[in-house]
Copies of this chain bind each other. A is one copy, B any other.
Amino acid sequence: MYIKKGICLAGGIRVVSEEKKKNRVSVEINKRTYTIVGPESKEHVELVASLVDQKMRDIRSTNKHLDSTKLAVLTALNTMNEYIKLKEEHEELITLIEEEE
């Protein structure tokens, strides 16, 4: 039996793939186009891309001489910083709830 891309060729029976459907979404960030492939909806990918694009603009507005790579790395750093802080806050909240129970 030879299985490829979720289709069973030997018996002619279709094997339903358990993988989630993957969407392809094209977005523009800092004047370049990126094609994102994944299970997320088009709307979600567009929201995430617009937030990254806006953050890059904000950082560029105060650091006009940054090259594109540095700008993108600083954007990633900035986002990771916010993620870590939110994660700490979230875990503190969970700990508080557990203590009250």
Contacts and interface: CB of A to CB of B under 8 A. Distances in A.
Most buried by B among A40, A52, A89, A97: A52
Contact of A79 (B49, B68, B69, B80): B80
Number of identical protomers: 2
Contacts of A87: 86
A83 to B, nearest CB: 5
Interface string A35-62: 0100010001001110110011000000
Contacts of A94: 93
Interface of A: 29-30, 32, 34, 36, 40, 44, 47-49, 51-52, 55-56, 68-70, 72-77, 79-84, 86-87, 89-90, 93-94, 97
